[in-house]
Amino acid sequence: MKAEAKIPYVVGFGIGDYKQVEEMNHHANGVVIGSAIVEQVGKHEQALKDESSRSEAVNEIKEFVKKLLYAPQVR
């Protein structure tokens, strides 16, 4: 669809891992990742509340996002 579209468009429902980002890039101009990041924040909720573990939790969430951002073909 990307080639036929007259304007750029992005997709964002259910995108949550590297493989999905890579696949959707073949069909769209970009992806929106919301729920998967919210899930990561929820997964680390207790650690984020605790000042002594917050930094590690933030770094784990950053690593999750990096894995999505650096999928091949994503621009």
Range of the domain at 35: 10-69
* Domain assignment of residue 22, yes or no: yes
* Domain assignment of residue 75, yes or no: no
* Domain assignment of residue 3, yes or no: no
Task: Grade residue 74 by pLDDT with cuts at 50, 70 and 90.
Answer: very low
**Total of domains in the chain:** 1
* Domain assignment of residue 5, yes or no: no
What is the CA angle 17-32-30, rounded to 5? 95
Please, which residues bridge with residue 11 across strands?
A: 31
* Domain assignment of residue 57, yes or no: yes
pTM exceeds 0.85, yes or no = no
- Give the mean model confidence (pLDDT) for residues 48-65: 96
How distant, in Å, are the alpha carbons of 45, 46, 51, 54, 61 from that of 29? 32, 36, 39, 34, 24
- The pair phi, psi for residue 2, each rounded to 5°, is -55, -40
* Domain assignment of residue 40, yes or no: yes
* Domain assignment of residue 18, yes or no: yes
* Domain assignment of residue 74, yes or no: no
